[in-house]
A and B are shown apart, each in its own frame.
Chain A
């Protein structure tokens, strides 16, 4: 009963703080459009894509130098060999010049518009506040200047011809660069260059679409209310305190949390379940008496201590291990970051093992003894009895143990905050095994990290409460799922 009241209160207060998020975020999104940031944003994406290509060229350069140094050349020789490559790279970089300066100008203009709108909103708020306090004269003294978005935006939209011209130049320049044959001094990187060329071609193909979007863009097109929700649930960016635009999309955090939790479970489930099977079926009573308290003691270690351990010991050792020569066939090795999803996941596994262990053990012990006897009486060995009767019969109990372990790790804060690397980005899942060695940020981590710093009542503050609310419901859902599984299991045993 008390539990229900507490749950209700938690939900209520989280909602009270979080619910304001939606109108505020909607306003934020509307301003993004009205002030023309969205318009310029399309162009910014285009220059950003170029910058990414440029970076991959730089990366290619670094790799070649490394390869040549390794092959015994001196620094000067290596630089000289790259002369042709460098001209190429400079040309590639210069191609975007016109567009870049245009975008930079427009960026200044639209952010200025946005700033004005913000000042206006603040003034309005202040006046309202003063009126409420009953200070009418002071309130009247607050100056407000309404922003005429249409007039302000007109010069920005007027640059469209300049934009098309700049893009045409860019296209021409890039085509010239593309046609130029380039042989790399380090031959084994030639395929990477091919890859780069293809990427540039794909980039060129996106131009007409962007242009079309810009042409059809309308500042007064309405932003529907549900965008406020979808931009939160499906937003791929979490950017705060940006001079440009703040985004509160939960996906990178959710992806980070899930990645860390899955790593933790992949480690903890086999260990926890095997330990449970061992203790309940195979171990001598004396061994069981020894193992159980130790495993359960792990859950008493403060998570901050585990976090220290992760930073000081585990992260560094894992990195050193990946530098080990025998492992170099794994393409992701050696890893760059000491603190990453794997480090955090490995520590979280440690925290999940006791949960999974004790619940699985309970599930195994709750199997009626006569199942075991029936199996032995038919001539089964211990292993056969475990694998064919005990584990299947307790499977739903084990599944629910795993789910509760999952709930435990996804809600854990300190370890991920300290050890997950805290980079807010959706992990690059194309990297195969390397994915797990990327730094990530998590839902719990971000709340702990940012909530102390934000001003009460701002959009950012509300967004953090929304993350909290999301976590809360996720935890409730996982628990509900675990209980459902257990209930079903009870029925099937009969």
Chain B
């Protein structure tokens, strides 16, 4: 797999996050209580996510992993009646629910890849440049360059370089998901949120995406929700375990998998429930 991205090398030499010296963390969550209407979905979550690491969220379904993830780019704004009752979320030190934060701007910095691959019914090329075009960046040469770079970074370039102008919907499931990753990194976000990106993929496509995640962490902070314990073990640096809307524990991945502090975590990992 190609690792020759100009982007990543550049980032490696630079010290992490000179922009926000106040916090070395990409995301800081403090005492978060989140509601869907009356339904209390997240209970007092406290969490720090370091930059340039892969952090995995695991837990039985319905425990609030997606909900928390979608708080980070304020996608929950689109859900009527949903709200944060207490607590704050800081991305690189800025409170993203503060009065001066535009969710549109935030989402350019915090990209997202969804569970179900969702390329637009447009050409591969147009899918990748969508985020640029909506920012008014239309220069052909610039777009061409970004398309190639993003597709290379998403390890898709060699497979699609001859059919950039064919529909993105015609790709295989795994290719579609990598196209969605390319689309997310084309706008050069700082953080990429991935919500079970491999749950609909076959094992081969899954391993490609996992390799990709491993490569991407040089340039980006990645937060990945996964149902698949092996996946969390393979590609994450940190793992957070959630249960019934609460963060049970977060630690280095090896630690969580070999010697968790909490009993619930151990039960879940050893497959006693979930």
A residues contacting B by CB (< 8 A) are 285, 368, 370-381, 384, 388-389, 392-393, 492-494
Contacts and interface: CB of A to CB of B under 8 A. Distances in A.
A388 B114 contact: no
A374 B111 contact: no
B170 interface: yes
Given A379-B105, A379-B135, A493-B169, A374 B114 contact: yes
Nearest to A492: B121
B120 A389 contact: yes
B134 interface: yes
B78 A376 contact: yes
Interface residues of B, number: 30
B180 interface: yes
A376 B104 CA distance: 8
7 contacts: A370-B114, A376-B78, A376-B107, A379-B134, A380-B104, A381-B134, A494-B121
Interface string B166-196: 0101100000000010011001000000000
Interface of B: 73, 75, 78, 80, 104-108, 111-112, 114, 116, 118-122, 130-131, 133-135, 167, 169-170, 180, 183-184, 187
Contact of B108 (A379, A389, A493, A494): A379
A311 B25 CA distance: 72
B107 A379 contact: yes
A392 B121 contact: yes
Contacts of B120: 371, 374-375, 389, 393
B111 A378 contact: yes
B73, B105, B116, B130: residue with the most chain A Cβ atoms closer than 10 Å = B130
A377 B134 contact: no
Contacts, number: 73
A187 B107 CA distance: 69
The CB with the most chain B CB atoms within 10 A, among A370, A379, A493, A494, is that of: A379
A377 B170 contact: no
Nearest to B112: A377
B104 A375 contact: no
B187 A378 contact: yes
B181 to A, nearest CB: 12
B121 A376 contact: no
A378 B107 contact: yes
A371 B120 CA distance: 6
Contact of A379 (B104, B114, B122, B170): B104
B118 A388 contact: no
B122 A377 contact: no
Nearest to B104: A379
B118 A374 contact: yes
B74 to A, nearest CB: 9
A363 to B, nearest CB: 13
Contacts of B108: 378-379
The 7 closest A-B pairs by CB, nearest first: A379-B108, A378-B131, A370-B118, A377-B112, A379-B107, A494-B169, A374-B118
B224 to A, nearest CB: 15
Contact of A393 (B78, B114, B121): B121
A373 B70 CA distance: 11
Given A368-B118, A374-B118, A380 B134 contact: yes
B75 to A, nearest CB: 6
A492 B169 contact: yes
A388 B130 contact: yes
A378 B183 contact: yes
B75 A376 contact: yes
Contacts of A494: 121, 169-170
A184 B71 CA distance: 81
Contacts of B184: 377-378
B81 to A, nearest CB: 11
B111 A377 contact: yes
A125 B112 CA distance: 84
Contacts of A388: 130, 133-134
A369 B112 CA distance: 15
B236 to A, nearest CB: 21
Contacts of A374: 114, 118-120, 180, 183
A375 B106 CA distance: 14
B78 A371 contact: no
Contacts of A393: 120-121
Contacts of A372: 78
A371 B134 CA distance: 15
A375 B114 CA distance: 12
A379 B134 CA distance: 8
Given A376-B107, A377-B107, 12 more contacts: A371-B118, A371-B120, A372-B78, A374-B120, A375-B120, A375-B134, A377-B75, A377-B112, A379-B104, A393-B121, A492-B169, A494-B169
Contact of A375 (B130, B167, B187): B130
A492 B167 CA distance: 9
